[in-house]
Amino acid sequence: MAPPRATAPRRFTPQLEGFCAAASGLADQHSADAILFLAERPIDWAKLQEAFGSRTLLVAADSEDQLAGAHDDDNGPGFDTILLGMNDAPVFERLTQALLEAVADELLEPGSKVVTLYSSYDPGVIDSLSLIHLDEHLGRLTVRDLRRIETKIPMETIRAVIDLAVEIGREGREGKPIGTLMVVGDHKRTLELSKPMGFDPVKGYPASERSISDAKVRDGVKEIAQMDGAFIISANGTVVAAAQHITAPASTDITLSKGLGARHWTAAQITKATEAIAVAVSSSGGTVRVFQGGEVVLRIEPLERAMTWREFESEHDGDKEKAAATADAKKPTEKKASKVRSKTPRGKAAKAAAETKPDDAAADAGG
Ligand SMILES: Nc1ncnc2c1ncn2[C@@H]1O[C@H](COP(=O)(O)OP(=O)(O)OP(=O)(O)O)[C@@H](O)[C@H]1O
Protein backbone atom coordinates (compact mmCIF):
# COMPACT_ATOMS: atom_id res chain seq x y z
CA MET A 1 0.00 0.00 0.00
CA ALA A 2 1.33 3.47 -0.85
CA PRO A 3 2.06 5.81 2.05
CA PRO A 4 -0.61 8.47 2.61
CA ARG A 5 0.08 11.54 0.55
CA ALA A 6 1.16 14.71 2.37
CA THR A 7 -1.51 17.30 2.89
CA ALA A 8 0.57 20.37 3.82
CA PRO A 9 -0.30 23.22 1.45
CA ARG A 10 1.72 23.27 -1.71
CA ARG A 11 3.65 26.37 -2.72
CA PHE A 12 2.64 27.83 -6.02
CA THR A 13 6.04 27.17 -7.56
CA PRO A 14 7.34 28.51 -10.90
CA GLN A 15 7.05 24.93 -12.23
CA LEU A 16 3.39 24.78 -11.27
CA GLU A 17 2.83 28.19 -12.81
CA GLY A 18 4.50 26.96 -16.00
CA PHE A 19 2.33 23.84 -16.15
CA CYS A 20 -0.82 25.90 -15.60
CA ALA A 21 0.17 28.20 -18.47
CA ALA A 22 0.94 25.21 -20.69
CA ALA A 23 -2.40 23.58 -19.78
CA SER A 24 -4.26 26.80 -20.56
CA GLY A 25 -2.51 27.07 -23.92
CA LEU A 26 -3.28 23.44 -24.77
CA ALA A 27 -6.90 23.89 -23.69
CA ASP A 28 -7.30 26.97 -25.89
CA GLN A 29 -5.58 25.43 -28.88
CA HIS A 30 -7.83 22.35 -28.78
CA SER A 31 -10.99 24.08 -27.58
CA ALA A 32 -11.03 21.85 -24.49
CA ASP A 33 -14.18 21.93 -22.39
CA ALA A 34 -12.40 21.82 -19.05
CA ILE A 35 -9.13 21.46 -17.18
CA LEU A 36 -8.94 18.74 -14.54
CA PHE A 37 -6.41 19.30 -11.77
CA LEU A 38 -5.54 16.18 -9.77
CA ALA A 39 -4.46 17.66 -6.44
CA GLU A 40 -2.38 15.80 -3.90
CA ARG A 41 -2.46 18.51 -1.27
CA PRO A 42 -4.15 21.88 -0.78
CA ILE A 43 -2.80 24.70 -2.83
CA ASP A 44 -3.18 28.46 -3.12
CA TRP A 45 -6.57 28.00 -4.79
CA ALA A 46 -7.00 31.69 -5.58
CA LYS A 47 -3.72 31.62 -7.51
CA LEU A 48 -4.79 28.46 -9.29
CA GLN A 49 -8.00 30.11 -10.38
CA GLU A 50 -6.10 33.18 -11.50
CA ALA A 51 -3.79 30.96 -13.57
CA PHE A 52 -6.73 29.48 -15.51
CA GLY A 53 -8.81 32.64 -15.81
CA SER A 54 -12.33 31.95 -17.01
CA ARG A 55 -11.61 28.39 -18.20
CA THR A 56 -13.64 25.65 -16.51
CA LEU A 57 -11.52 24.04 -13.81
CA LEU A 58 -12.35 20.84 -11.94
CA VAL A 59 -10.27 19.78 -8.95
CA ALA A 60 -10.06 16.11 -7.98
CA ALA A 61 -8.33 14.65 -4.93
CA ASP A 62 -8.33 11.54 -2.80
CA SER A 63 -9.35 13.07 0.50
CA GLU A 64 -11.22 16.04 1.90
CA ASP A 65 -7.94 17.22 3.50
CA GLN A 66 -6.37 17.56 0.09
CA LEU A 67 -9.33 19.66 -1.06
CA ALA A 68 -9.38 21.90 2.01
CA GLY A 69 -10.41 25.40 1.01
CA ALA A 70 -11.30 24.50 -2.57
CA HIS A 71 -15.07 24.18 -2.12
CA ASP A 72 -17.38 27.07 -2.70
CA ASP A 73 -18.71 26.65 0.85
CA ASP A 74 -15.19 27.08 2.27
CA ASN A 75 -14.94 30.76 1.28
CA GLY A 76 -12.52 29.51 -1.36
CA PRO A 77 -12.75 30.21 -5.05
CA GLY A 78 -15.48 27.59 -5.33
CA PHE A 79 -14.24 24.95 -7.70
CA ASP A 80 -16.21 21.93 -8.72
CA THR A 81 -14.51 19.19 -6.76
CA ILE A 82 -14.38 15.43 -7.10
CA LEU A 83 -13.53 13.24 -4.13
CA LEU A 84 -11.88 9.98 -5.17
CA GLY A 85 -10.72 8.07 -2.08
CA MET A 86 -8.28 6.06 -4.21
CA ASN A 87 -5.05 6.94 -2.47
CA ASP A 88 -3.20 3.76 -3.37
CA ALA A 89 -4.39 3.48 -6.97
CA PRO A 90 -2.13 4.31 -9.91
CA VAL A 91 -2.48 7.82 -11.28
CA PHE A 92 -4.17 6.76 -14.53
CA GLU A 93 -6.90 4.90 -12.67
CA ARG A 94 -7.46 7.94 -10.47
CA LEU A 95 -7.66 10.19 -13.52
CA THR A 96 -10.12 7.84 -15.21
CA GLN A 97 -12.26 7.70 -12.10
CA ALA A 98 -12.20 11.49 -11.78
CA LEU A 99 -13.39 11.84 -15.37
CA LEU A 100 -16.10 9.20 -14.92
CA GLU A 101 -17.34 10.90 -11.79
CA ALA A 102 -17.31 14.29 -13.48
CA VAL A 103 -19.58 12.81 -16.17
CA ALA A 104 -21.77 11.21 -13.51
CA ASP A 105 -22.17 14.53 -11.75
CA GLU A 106 -22.85 16.26 -15.05
CA LEU A 107 -19.80 18.46 -14.67
CA LEU A 108 -18.63 17.15 -18.05
CA GLU A 109 -20.46 15.91 -21.11
CA PRO A 110 -19.52 12.37 -22.18
CA GLY A 111 -17.96 13.69 -25.41
CA SER A 112 -15.84 16.41 -23.79
CA LYS A 113 -12.18 17.19 -24.35
CA VAL A 114 -10.29 17.68 -21.12
CA VAL A 115 -6.78 18.82 -20.31
CA THR A 116 -5.54 17.04 -17.19
CA LEU A 117 -2.74 18.17 -14.88
CA TYR A 118 -1.29 15.66 -12.46
CA SER A 119 1.78 14.24 -10.82
CA SER A 120 3.17 11.08 -12.34
CA TYR A 121 6.90 10.93 -11.61
CA ASP A 122 7.59 12.98 -8.54
CA PRO A 123 4.90 12.51 -5.87
CA GLY A 124 3.29 15.80 -4.93
CA VAL A 125 4.79 17.72 -7.85
CA ILE A 126 2.69 18.55 -10.90
CA ASP A 127 4.86 17.24 -13.71
CA SER A 128 2.45 15.91 -16.37
CA LEU A 129 -0.14 17.18 -18.76
CA SER A 130 -2.52 15.20 -21.00
CA LEU A 131 -5.25 16.02 -23.48
CA ILE A 132 -8.03 13.46 -23.14
CA HIS A 133 -10.97 12.89 -25.47
CA LEU A 134 -13.60 11.36 -23.24
CA ASP A 135 -15.29 9.56 -26.12
CA GLU A 136 -12.21 7.47 -26.61
CA HIS A 137 -11.11 7.27 -23.01
CA LEU A 138 -14.42 6.21 -21.50
CA GLY A 139 -15.50 3.99 -24.34
CA ARG A 140 -13.95 0.94 -22.79
CA LEU A 141 -16.22 -0.31 -20.11
CA THR A 142 -14.23 -2.62 -17.91
CA VAL A 143 -15.41 -5.41 -15.73
CA ARG A 144 -13.77 -3.56 -12.91
CA ASP A 145 -16.19 -0.68 -13.46
CA LEU A 146 -19.00 -3.10 -12.85
CA ARG A 147 -17.26 -4.55 -9.83
CA ARG A 148 -17.51 -1.16 -8.20
CA ILE A 149 -21.23 -1.82 -8.11
CA GLU A 150 -21.01 -3.73 -4.86
CA THR A 151 -23.80 -6.26 -4.88
CA LYS A 152 -24.59 -9.89 -4.31
CA ILE A 153 -26.15 -10.12 -7.77
CA PRO A 154 -23.84 -12.13 -10.06
CA MET A 155 -21.89 -9.97 -12.52
CA GLU A 156 -23.07 -12.22 -15.35
CA THR A 157 -26.67 -11.25 -14.68
CA ILE A 158 -25.89 -7.55 -14.38
CA ARG A 159 -23.85 -7.60 -17.55
CA ALA A 160 -26.55 -9.48 -19.49
CA VAL A 161 -29.22 -7.02 -18.37
CA ILE A 162 -27.06 -4.00 -19.22
CA ASP A 163 -26.27 -5.46 -22.65
CA LEU A 164 -29.95 -5.97 -23.27
CA ALA A 165 -30.78 -2.46 -22.09
CA VAL A 166 -28.12 -0.97 -24.36
CA GLU A 167 -29.60 -2.86 -27.32
CA ILE A 168 -33.10 -1.66 -26.50
CA GLY A 169 -31.86 1.93 -26.17
CA ARG A 170 -30.05 1.78 -29.49
CA GLU A 171 -32.50 -0.17 -31.59
CA GLY A 172 -35.88 0.88 -30.23
CA ARG A 173 -38.71 -1.14 -31.77
CA GLU A 174 -39.91 -0.87 -35.35
CA GLY A 175 -37.98 2.31 -35.85
CA LYS A 176 -39.42 4.01 -32.78
CA PRO A 177 -37.40 4.78 -29.65
CA ILE A 178 -38.59 2.94 -26.57
CA GLY A 179 -37.70 3.14 -22.91
CA THR A 180 -37.95 0.51 -20.26
CA LEU A 181 -37.08 -0.37 -16.67
CA MET A 182 -35.57 -3.60 -15.41
CA VAL A 183 -35.23 -4.25 -11.70
CA VAL A 184 -32.67 -6.94 -10.97
CA GLY A 185 -32.11 -8.95 -7.79
CA ASP A 186 -33.96 -8.91 -4.43
CA HIS A 187 -36.99 -9.90 -6.49
CA LYS A 188 -39.16 -11.07 -3.59
CA ARG A 189 -39.00 -7.69 -1.91
CA THR A 190 -39.41 -5.94 -5.27
CA LEU A 191 -42.53 -8.00 -6.02
CA GLU A 192 -43.96 -6.93 -2.66
CA LEU A 193 -43.52 -3.33 -3.81
CA SER A 194 -45.11 -3.88 -7.23
CA LYS A 195 -48.43 -4.70 -8.79
CA PRO A 196 -49.33 -5.86 -12.29
CA MET A 197 -50.38 -3.08 -14.63
CA GLY A 198 -52.70 -5.51 -16.38
CA PHE A 199 -51.68 -8.49 -18.45
CA ASP A 200 -48.31 -9.97 -17.45
CA PRO A 201 -46.88 -11.52 -20.62
CA VAL A 202 -44.39 -13.80 -18.84
CA LYS A 203 -46.89 -15.30 -16.40
CA GLY A 204 -47.37 -19.05 -16.77
CA TYR A 205 -44.09 -19.81 -18.52
CA PRO A 206 -41.71 -22.17 -16.72
CA ALA A 207 -38.58 -20.53 -15.26
CA SER A 208 -36.44 -22.43 -17.77
CA GLU A 209 -38.12 -20.42 -20.56
CA ARG A 210 -37.63 -17.06 -18.90
CA SER A 211 -33.85 -16.82 -18.60
CA ILE A 212 -32.28 -13.73 -20.14
CA SER A 213 -29.28 -15.79 -21.14
CA ASP A 214 -31.58 -17.27 -23.81
CA ALA A 215 -31.62 -15.27 -27.08
CA LYS A 216 -35.35 -15.95 -27.61
CA VAL A 217 -36.14 -14.56 -24.17
CA ARG A 218 -34.06 -11.46 -24.88
CA ASP A 219 -36.04 -10.92 -28.09
CA GLY A 220 -39.24 -11.35 -26.11
CA VAL A 221 -38.08 -8.78 -23.56
CA LYS A 222 -37.40 -6.29 -26.38
CA GLU A 223 -40.94 -6.86 -27.65
CA ILE A 224 -42.55 -6.51 -24.21
CA ALA A 225 -40.43 -3.44 -23.43
CA GLN A 226 -42.88 -1.47 -25.56
CA MET A 227 -45.52 -2.04 -22.89
CA ASP A 228 -45.81 0.20 -19.86
CA GLY A 229 -44.22 -0.90 -16.62
CA ALA A 230 -41.12 -2.66 -15.39
CA PHE A 231 -39.49 -6.07 -15.67
CA ILE A 232 -38.56 -7.81 -12.45
CA ILE A 233 -35.57 -10.09 -12.90
CA SER A 234 -34.13 -12.41 -10.27
CA ALA A 235 -30.44 -12.45 -9.39
CA ASN A 236 -29.98 -15.57 -11.49
CA GLY A 237 -31.35 -13.84 -14.59
CA THR A 238 -34.91 -15.23 -14.68
CA VAL A 239 -37.59 -12.77 -15.76
CA VAL A 240 -39.97 -13.12 -12.81
CA ALA A 241 -42.62 -10.63 -13.93
CA ALA A 242 -43.19 -8.00 -16.61
CA ALA A 243 -45.41 -4.95 -17.04
CA GLN A 244 -45.28 -4.24 -13.32
CA HIS A 245 -46.11 -0.96 -11.66
CA ILE A 246 -43.48 -0.35 -9.01
CA THR A 247 -44.87 1.25 -5.89
CA ALA A 248 -41.71 1.76 -3.86
CA PRO A 249 -42.10 4.54 -1.31
CA ALA A 250 -40.78 7.99 -2.19
CA SER A 251 -37.61 8.77 -0.28
CA THR A 252 -36.75 12.34 0.62
CA ASP A 253 -33.00 11.89 0.26
CA ILE A 254 -32.99 11.06 -3.43
CA THR A 255 -31.84 13.72 -5.87
CA LEU A 256 -31.78 13.25 -9.62
CA SER A 257 -30.97 15.56 -12.47
CA LYS A 258 -33.72 17.69 -13.83
CA GLY A 259 -35.41 16.15 -16.81
CA LEU A 260 -35.56 12.61 -15.46
CA GLY A 261 -39.17 11.56 -15.06
CA ALA A 262 -41.24 8.89 -13.34
CA ARG A 263 -39.36 5.92 -14.78
CA HIS A 264 -36.04 7.13 -13.42
CA TRP A 265 -37.46 8.21 -10.07
CA THR A 266 -39.01 4.77 -9.76
CA ALA A 267 -35.59 3.23 -10.45
CA ALA A 268 -34.04 5.37 -7.73
CA GLN A 269 -36.83 4.63 -5.25
CA ILE A 270 -36.93 0.86 -5.69
CA THR A 271 -33.16 0.62 -5.30
CA LYS A 272 -33.33 2.75 -2.18
CA ALA A 273 -36.02 0.48 -0.72
CA THR A 274 -34.41 -2.86 -1.69
CA GLU A 275 -31.07 -4.49 -2.48
CA ALA A 276 -32.01 -4.55 -6.17
CA ILE A 277 -30.25 -2.80 -9.01
CA ALA A 278 -32.41 -1.01 -11.57
CA VAL A 279 -31.51 -0.47 -15.20
CA ALA A 280 -33.51 2.28 -16.91
CA VAL A 281 -33.49 2.95 -20.64
CA SER A 282 -34.70 6.42 -21.51
CA SER A 283 -37.10 6.61 -24.43
CA SER A 284 -35.69 10.03 -25.18
CA GLY A 285 -32.18 9.40 -26.38
CA GLY A 286 -31.62 5.76 -25.39
CA THR A 287 -29.33 6.53 -22.44
CA VAL A 288 -29.04 3.62 -20.05
CA ARG A 289 -28.70 4.42 -16.37
CA VAL A 290 -27.94 1.88 -13.69
CA PHE A 291 -29.25 2.68 -10.22
CA GLN A 292 -28.18 1.32 -6.88
CA GLY A 293 -29.07 2.57 -3.41
CA GLY A 294 -31.17 5.37 -4.89
CA GLU A 295 -28.50 6.85 -7.13
CA VAL A 296 -27.08 6.53 -10.61
CA VAL A 297 -23.93 4.39 -10.49
CA LEU A 298 -23.40 3.85 -14.20
CA ARG A 299 -24.51 5.74 -17.26
CA ILE A 300 -24.08 4.40 -20.75
CA GLU A 301 -24.45 6.86 -23.55
CA PRO A 302 -25.85 5.91 -26.92
CA LEU A 303 -22.68 6.71 -28.81
CA GLU A 304 -21.66 5.48 -32.20
CA ARG A 305 -18.90 2.98 -31.70
CA ALA A 306 -18.93 -0.52 -30.29
CA MET A 307 -19.28 -1.05 -26.58
CA THR A 308 -16.57 -3.38 -25.41
CA TRP A 309 -16.19 -5.29 -22.20
CA ARG A 310 -12.47 -5.05 -21.90
CA GLU A 311 -10.36 -7.58 -20.10
CA PHE A 312 -9.03 -5.91 -17.02
CA GLU A 313 -5.91 -6.84 -15.17
CA SER A 314 -5.89 -5.58 -11.62
CA GLU A 315 -2.67 -3.88 -10.60
CA HIS A 316 -3.43 -4.36 -6.92
CA ASP A 317 -4.17 -7.96 -6.30
CA GLY A 318 -2.98 -9.62 -9.45
CA ASP A 319 -6.52 -10.83 -10.13
CA LYS A 320 -7.22 -11.23 -13.78
CA GLU A 321 -10.85 -10.56 -14.37
CA LYS A 322 -12.01 -12.06 -17.59
CA ALA A 323 -14.49 -10.08 -19.57
CA ALA A 324 -15.61 -12.22 -22.41
CA ALA A 325 -16.13 -10.03 -25.44
CA THR A 326 -19.88 -9.92 -25.73
CA ALA A 327 -21.76 -10.48 -28.92
CA ASP A 328 -22.52 -6.77 -28.72
CA ALA A 329 -18.90 -5.84 -29.07
CA LYS A 330 -18.78 -7.50 -32.45
CA LYS A 331 -21.71 -5.66 -33.92
CA PRO A 332 -20.71 -2.82 -36.21
CA THR A 333 -23.01 -0.08 -34.96
CA GLU A 334 -22.82 -0.70 -31.25
CA LYS A 335 -22.71 2.09 -28.76
CA LYS A 336 -19.91 3.05 -26.52
CA ALA A 337 -20.22 3.25 -22.83
CA SER A 338 -19.25 5.62 -20.13
CA LYS A 339 -19.28 4.73 -16.51
CA VAL A 340 -20.49 6.54 -13.53
CA ARG A 341 -20.07 6.19 -9.82
CA SER A 342 -21.86 8.89 -7.91
CA LYS A 343 -20.08 9.20 -4.61
CA THR A 344 -18.65 12.68 -4.93
CA PRO A 345 -19.77 15.83 -3.25
CA ARG A 346 -21.82 17.32 -6.02
CA GLY A 347 -20.28 20.37 -7.60
CA LYS A 348 -21.59 23.70 -8.77
CA ALA A 349 -22.56 22.59 -12.22
CA ALA A 350 -24.51 19.67 -10.86
CA LYS A 351 -26.28 21.98 -8.47
CA ALA A 352 -26.90 24.40 -11.29
CA ALA A 353 -28.57 21.54 -13.12
CA ALA A 354 -31.39 22.32 -10.70
CA GLU A 355 -31.92 18.99 -9.12
CA THR A 356 -35.48 18.12 -8.36
CA LYS A 357 -37.02 16.30 -5.46
CA PRO A 358 -39.38 13.34 -5.86
CA ASP A 359 -42.48 15.46 -5.47
CA ASP A 360 -41.43 17.71 -8.34
CA ALA A 361 -40.83 14.70 -10.50
CA ALA A 362 -44.14 13.19 -9.64
CA ALA A 363 -45.77 16.47 -10.56
CA ASP A 364 -43.79 16.57 -13.84
CA ALA A 365 -44.89 13.04 -14.59
CA GLY A 366 -48.42 13.83 -13.78
CA GLY A 367 -48.68 11.76 -10.62
N1 LIG B 1 -43.85 3.38 -10.94
C2 LIG B 1 -43.60 2.88 -12.14
N3 LIG B 1 -43.46 1.55 -12.32
C4 LIG B 1 -43.20 1.03 -13.52
N5 LIG B 1 -43.08 1.77 -14.64
C6 LIG B 1 -43.21 3.10 -14.52
C7 LIG B 1 -43.47 3.73 -13.28
N8 LIG B 1 -43.55 5.06 -13.49
C9 LIG B 1 -43.34 5.25 -14.80
N10 LIG B 1 -43.12 4.08 -15.43
C11 LIG B 1 -42.92 3.85 -16.86
O12 LIG B 1 -42.14 4.90 -17.37
C13 LIG B 1 -42.77 5.40 -18.54
C14 LIG B 1 -42.27 6.76 -18.87
O15 LIG B 1 -42.54 7.67 -17.85
P16 LIG B 1 -41.80 9.11 -17.85
O17 LIG B 1 -41.76 9.64 -19.24
O18 LIG B 1 -42.40 9.96 -16.77
O19 LIG B 1 -40.37 8.65 -17.38
P20 LIG B 1 -38.93 9.21 -17.72
O21 LIG B 1 -38.13 8.92 -16.50
O22 LIG B 1 -39.01 10.63 -18.21
O23 LIG B 1 -38.45 8.23 -18.90
P24 LIG B 1 -38.13 8.55 -20.42
O25 LIG B 1 -36.79 9.21 -20.42
O26 LIG B 1 -38.14 7.20 -21.05
O27 LIG B 1 -39.28 9.42 -20.90
C28 LIG B 1 -44.23 5.22 -18.24
O29 LIG B 1 -44.99 5.22 -19.43
C30 LIG B 1 -44.25 3.88 -17.57
O31 LIG B 1 -44.24 2.83 -18.51
42-96 pLDDT tens trace: 888 889 989 999 999 999 998 888 888 787 655 556 788 888 877 777 888 788 8
How many domains does the chain fold into?
A: 2
**Ligand 1 within 6 A of 284 CB?**
yes
Whole-number Å distance, alpha carbon 279 to ligand 1 midpoint, is 12
Indicate if the alpha-carbon torsion angle 215, 216, 217, 222 is positive or negative: positive
Closest residue by Cα to atom 13, ligand 1, is 263
The count of C-alpha atoms lying within 13 angstroms of the C-alpha of 155, restricted to the half-sphere facing its C-beta, is 14
Judge whether 346 lies within some domain.
no
Q: State the Cα angle at 207 between 203 and 211, rounded to 5°.
A: 105
From its phi and psi, is residue 181 left (phi > 0), alpha (psi between -120 and 50) or beta?
A: beta
Judge whether 356 lies within some domain.
no
Judge whether 244 lies within some domain.
yes
Judge whether 326 lies within some domain.
no
Atom of ligand 1 nearest to the CA of 194: 3
Residue 55's alpha-carbon distances to 25, 43, 106, in angstroms, are 11, 18, 17
179-221 pLDDT tens trace: 999 999 999 999 999 999 988 999 989 988 999 999 999 999 9
* Domain extent at residue 219: 146-308
- pLDDT for res 155: 81
Give the residue with greater pLDDT, 142 vs 18: 18
Supply the CATH number for residue 131's domain: 3.40.1380.20
Judge whether 29 lies within some domain.
yes
Which residue out of 194, 263, 284 has the highest number of ligand 1 atoms within 8 Å of its CB and is therefore the one to mutate?
Answer: 263
Give the mean pLDDT of 347-360. Answer: 31
Judge whether 337 lies within some domain.
no
ipTM greater than 0.90:
yes
pTM of the model: 0.58
Q: State the Cα angle at 15 between 113 and 30, rounded to 5°.
A: 20
Listed range (131-135, 166-170, 333-337) with the worst mean pLDDT: 333-337
- pLDDT for res 133: 86
285-306 pLDDT tens trace: 888 899 999 988 887 776 544 4
**Ligand 1 within 6 A of 229 CB?**
yes
Same-domain status, 211 and 267: yes
Whole-number Å distance, alpha carbon 223 to ligand 1 midpoint, is 17
